[in-house]
Amino acid sequence: MQITLIRHARVLLDNTQKITASQMNAWVEAYNYAPIDITLPSKEVVSHIKCADMVLASTLSRTSDSLAVTEVEPTEKNSLFDEIDLPQAKGTWLKLSSKTWLVLLRLMMLSGFGKKSKVYTEAKQRAKRASEYLMNLANTHESVALMGHGGFNYLLDKELKKLGFRCVEKNNSSKNWGYRVYEK
């Protein structure tokens, strides 16, 4: 039984422009609909996708667009695998790059601060359900590949290990087109 978690291709959206916290919400929305870099990933990534008995994707377009680069259609798109939401930010007095805001907002989320303080708890609960779902699919289909997101794949890693899976291969797992392979 094998599960492969893959992070989507690089999104083509400027993350260096200085913006306010209030503008960050619009930036995240734009990121969710921005095009991706269509450069083909490594042979290993393509092999993991094409050799899987079942290929899943989140409902965010960057995952199915990434699969399209490899000429694979997802068997299923499921919001269970969508990226972790960020806490909503407000304020116009401080301008930082969106990349810096992402780090700060993730830290706020992990600390329980922000307007949506339950974001992380809800994401962990969703990751638990998602990992059990992936395990059930792997029981039936032998090998499952998920085109997902960096933050949510991180949570899935923890949950899959709790279910007795071990990571047998990984390559730049937090980077775009990075992956981890789990077996049980």
Residue range 111-115: mean pLDDT, rounded: 64
Residue range 139-148: mean pLDDT, rounded: 96
User: Please, are residues 81 and 62 in contact by the beta-carbon 8 Å criterion?
Assistant: no
C-alpha distances in Å from residue 152, one per residue of 6, 40, 43, 160: 11, 23, 24, 12
Helix (H, G, I), strand (E, B) or coil at 97: strand
Tell how strand 54-57 and strand 2-7 pair up.
Answer: unpaired
The CATH number of the domain holding residue 57 is: 3.40.50
Tell me the pLDDT tens digit for each residue of 17-73. Answer: 899 989 998 999 999 999 999 999 999 999 999 999 999 999 999 999 999 999 999
Q: What is the domain range of residue 88?
A: 2-183
Residue 33: its pLDDT value, please?
A: 93
Q: Count of domains in the chain? A: 1
- Summary mean pLDDT of the chain: 92
With helix as H, strand as E and coil as C, how does 32-85 read? HHCCECCCCCCHHHHHHHHHCCEEEECCCHHHHHHHHHCCCCCCEECHHHCCCC
Kindly report the pTM of this predicted structure. 0.92
Helix (H, G, I), strand (E, B) or coil at 92: coil
